[in-house]
Structure 1
Amino acid sequence: MIWTYFIIFILAAIPFFEVTMIVPIAIIGGMPAIPVILIAILGNLLTVALFIIFVDSIRNWRKKRKTNVETNDSKRHQRAKKIRDKYGLPGLAFIGPFFIGTHLTALLAVTFGGHA
């Protein structure tokens, strides 16, 4: 039984497989709902938190290395700012996991200026 929960934890941590797929599969497979949900959320939360910290540290490192010549925003960065201004980080945080997954949503949130 412990191995089953460990597998649920690991599978929930994998990007694009995540909680939304592993929880229904485990419950249909006969596992109790509450422990499955808690273990899957913890697995997903761990990898998302580590991912956010990693991306944020890279972004801060790049900011420190940037010179005055590179301060002009690229077209891609300007488009990202427009999207952020239109939907905001809270909108992305609530809607993103349902459509693009938690890991990609975390990357976009950190890219748009959210901090760990």
Structure 2
Amino acid sequence: MSYADFVDLKKLSEQTSFNFKKDSSGEVVKLANAAIIRIEKENLDKFLYKTSYSEPEYRVVEIKQRTTRTNQTFDNVKLEPAYRDILPISKKKYDGLMFLLRMNTIKKCYSPFYNSLKVSNDVD
């Protein structure tokens, strides 16, 4: 997957009249905390998510239409990309990767990829 494959679920929620705010047990859904989101082709009226890979079971969110805008469907909704450009990594992480390349811990054949990474000047 590349950065272009990720869609902005917050904008999708705002665009539609569908409710993603609570799961089936009544807990508030925070998609930013989701580690795994699973959508099944045969159950498009709900999605499953986990906030940790170690959770034994998925939590279920039933996509319910709000009563304020009943004519909204997914047919006329445009999925917006979550990112417009590749996200940069920190300078410290980049320096660490360059060290691993110099020490041959990362194979030289991967050096073009690592050398082309965008670096942020922000301190993490």
TM-score normalized with structure 1 length: 0.29
Structure possessing the higher radius of gyration over alpha carbons: 2
TM-score (norm 2): 0.28
Query: Between Structure 1 and Structure 2, which shows a larger proportion of helix residues?
Result: 1
